[in-house]
Amino acid sequence: MKYLLLIILLINLNYCFIIDNNNRGQYKISEKLINKINDNSNNLKIWIEFTVKDISHHNDNSFVDNSSGDNLTKKQIIDLIGIHNDSIERRSKRIASTIDIDNHDLPISDYFIKEVLNCNNNIILNYKSNWLNSISISIKNKNKKQLKDIVNCIQKKSFVKNLDLVLKYKNNLNRKNNSNDNDNNNNNNNLKFQNKLLELNIKNNYSNKTINEIFNNTNKVKLDEKFYGLSYKGLKQANIDKLHQEGYYGTNIKILIIDSGFYKDHESLKHINYIGEYNYVDKKNDTQDEFDPNLTDPTMSQNAHGTATLSVIGGFAPGKLIGSAFNASYFLAKTEIIFEENLVEEDYWIAALEMGERMGIDLVTSSLGYKEWYRFSDLNGKTTRISKAANLAIKKGLVIVISTGNDDKKGIDSPTDSEYVIAVGGVTPSGHEKSFISSMGPSSDGRIKPDIMALGEQVQIAYFTGKDHYRLEIGTSFSSQIVAGGIALIMEKNKDWNAYQIYEAITKTASKANNPDINMGYGIFNAYAASQYNPSKHSCIEVGCLNNGVCKSKNDYPYDGHSFEDVVIGHCKCPPAYYGIQCQYKREICNQELCNYRYGVCQINEFLKENNSLSYNCISPNNIKKLKVNFDPNILILKTNNSTNNSNNSSSSSNNSSDNTNNNSLNKNNNNNNNNSISNEKFILIICIIVGFSVLIITILLILSIKLFLNIKLNIKNNSMI
């Protein structure tokens, strides 16, 4: 009997753990991926994130091979990763930390990749992301059952953290705005202009000798409207021409431009110093496609958009078109697929970004944004993969400039939601208002976006249909290139400025620096004024934090990783109402109309008595736990690693301290949900164990009942015999 009960108990517990393991695997798979599999898609691209790496990095800047225990030198790591010296030099010059190689740089485990590929012979490895410890794979021509089997094989690997869909974005960067919104119906004049894009044929009155004199800084050439041609309006509006007059053209600044194909044979692009190129779509080292004269719609050419954006920043054809940074060096990355749907895949963009950083690129510019698969509530600068990658790049010393997109009230894309990605919107030629299609902010967590503005209408571009063809265009794609080129000149002039100082300089000197808003951000870019600005060169370790922020002074900080791991050393961790290096910026209260328009709901903070208790966050209506909160957003709550309070948790510019005793009570209601909640995995396991023991108890009772019944029957029989 004892052995029978033991066997029943073991069977039940074993069954519970089988269920638990299966559920653990299911929780690794995102809802988007599950839905895609159920749609029986024949072409599936998947992100696979791993839990650990083969090599670990320690705070003393040492590296250890986890499998062998061997110490590795910094040179061995650099050679293993393939980081160029230019990247190391840029990191040492443009980041605040003394650590120039970190865990994010370390390579993905080859063993993990091999194990994943062994799940099926038809799995194709696309790209690796060291920064995200992830790979993207393709699974093609498989039915639903086969897809499920492959995904199930992958998720069962103990080293697999999660699986998600590689998102594809339907490019609408320069589409005609067909919205029926009343606001857009009032823009008939703009629409007439948009439909009247002229192909231009301009005579060149500048000789090669004159061009050489410009590049040699002889100051013999007058840089006036005649020299700039139709590019003059955009460059003059941003005061970029003044930096040109000082002899700054982007020299020695390396720029990565991520876009579609590039018609490098155009006369305005022939002078460019190309330091490399890669076609991530076709996996080859050429980003220029052959022109197809039979195209019924020329905008479907692979070379159309990339050629236009490259010309606005790097073009040089005096009298016709002058780019904002015409003497910079360029690396071209083609990541966009120009077919009927204009699909852009996010793994291409991330791969291009990591590659550019390793090569020593200084500045990244792109007119591609991702929103199609994301909820607006995800656009908080920390959720999407592409924003995470952008944040890491900035921490490594890169400056990133992205167009906000042409969606007006529908809002910004990712990665423009990232805090220090410079999001560029478009303005009219007068500069009095934003272009009617330029996307509005803010981010879903209330930060001012766009950051800066530049000309977004009547922008002169190189047109891919001929070597000397030009055109006037509209769109934030071109606004961002004007700004990116201007920033390249600022970097040329101020060689030691990092991304945060550049951000401060351009926002503090823009036309609306004192009254930013969600339409035009901090206003029109002023490159010349920004180049003369004196940004803060001190970290919070020296000057403290504003608005009750907490300064991160070292890597091994006493606060839990979720609170502090995303903060750069020398920067402040801010209370919910503030953001910025020193917590100097105040978030915008959630706009109910815009939030609802973007399929979100404004979070309610019952602690706030003004503005109908609206918080700063536009969240998903499905996020029931966070629909209502109750805490003071002006006070920062931090949890120490040993769960004890630290009397110095908060600092301000005046006394660098605050009372944490009240913080816990203020945040009590907000934390109750998290502290009292049980994860689905644990819940299922607990229920299963309860059921198992219930079955065991019922079995015992049944056995005892049978035994009792038999005893009674035996007693009756014995009594009858007596």
Q: How far apart are alpha carbons 693 and 518 in whole angstroms?
A: 59
Residue 189 domain-assigned (yes or no): no
Tell me: do 500 and 403 sit in the same domain.
Answer: yes
Instruction: Report the distance separating Cα 712 and Cα 493, nearest Å.
Output: 101
Residue 344 sits in the same domain as residue 304: yes
Residue 2 located in a structural domain: no
User: What is the pLDDT at residue 642?
Assistant: 54
372 shares a domain with 412:
yes
Q: Give the model confidence (pLDDT) of 146-160 as tens digits.
A: 889 999 999 999 999
pLDDT, residue 55, reads 92
Task: Give yes or no for a contact between 228 and 470, defined as CB atoms under 8 angstroms apart.
Answer: no
DSSP string covering 310-341, please? HHHHH-EETTTEE-TTTTSEEEEEE-EE-SSS
Q: Which bin fits 619, alpha (ψ -120 to 50), beta or left (φ > 0)?
A: beta
Give me the count of residues in the chain.
Answer: 722
- Do 512 and 561 share a domain, yes or no? no
The pLDDT tens digits for 74-88 are 899 999 999 999 999
CB 460 within 8 A of CB 425: no
Same domain, 410 and 551: no
Task: Kindly state whether residue 375 falls inside one of the protein's structural domains.
Answer: yes
Percentage of the chain exceeding pLDDT 90: 56
Instruction: Give residue 372's pLDDT band: very low, low, confident or very high (50, 70, 90).
Output: low
Res. 564: pLDDT tops 70:
yes
Burial of 21 (0-12, 13-18, 19+ CB in 10 A): middle
Question: CA-CA distance, 541 to 543, in Å (whole number)?
Answer: 6
**Residue 4 is assigned to a structural domain of this protein:** no
Band of residue 293 on the pLDDT scale cut at 50, 70, 90: low
User: Is residue 521's pLDDT more than 90?
Assistant: yes
- The pLDDT value given to residue 584: 93
Q: Are 538 and 653 in contact (CB under 8 A)?
A: no
| Number of separate domains in the chain | 4
> Which of 46-50, 59-63, 331-335, 379-383 has the lowest average pLDDT?
59-63
pLDDT tens track for 209-259: 666 677 676 566 788 999 999 999 999 999 999 999 999 999 999 999 999
Copy the structure tokens of residue 89: 């030099």
Backbone φ, ψ for residue 597 (5° rounding): -60, -30
Residue at a domain's end among 143, 170, 197: 170
For the whole model, what pTM was predicted?
0.82
Domain hosting 141: range is 22-170
Residue 205 pLDDT: 60
Are residue 520 and residue 654 in the same domain, yes or no? no
Same structural domain, 374 and 333:
yes
Kindly state whether residue 204 falls inside one of the protein's structural domains: no
The answer to whether residue 263 is domain-embedded is yes
Same domain, 669 and 685: no
Q: In this predicted model, what pLDDT tens digit does every residue of 305-321 receive, in sequence order?
A: 999 999 999 999 999 99
- 214: region left, alpha or beta (phi > 0 left; psi from -120 to 50 alpha): alpha
What pLDDT does residue 569 have?
85
Tell me: do 335 and 277 sit in the same domain.
Answer: yes
- Kindly report the CATH number assigned to the domain that includes residue 519: 3.40.50.200
Q: Which of 509, 532, 555 is the last residue of a domain?
A: 532
604/715 same-domain check: no
Residues 509 and 554 reside in one and the same domain: no
Q: Is the model more confident about 666 or about 578?
A: 578
Do residue 87 and residue 75 come from a single domain? yes
Domain membership flag for residue 14: no
Catalytic residues, by residue number, are: 259, 305, 477
Residue 668 burial (CB count, 10 A): 13
Answer whether residue 359 is part of any domain: yes
3-class DSSP string for 168-200: EEECCCCCCCCCCCHHHHCCHHHHHHHCCCCEE
Distance CA 533, CA 527 (A): 10
Beta bridge partners of 238: none
Residue closest to 662 by CA, chosen among 587, 607, 580: 607
Mean pLDDT of all residues in the chain?
A: 82
Range in 102-106, 172-176, 362-366, 468-472 the model is least confident about: 172-176
Extract long-range pairs of 112-120: CB within 8 Å, 24+ residues apart.
Answer: 112/50, 112/157, 112/159, 112/160, 115/157, 115/159, 116/48, 116/154, 116/157, 116/160, 119/150, 119/153, 119/154, 120/146, 120/149, 120/150, 120/153
- The whole-angstrom distance between residue 567's C-alpha and the CA centroid of its chain comes to 16
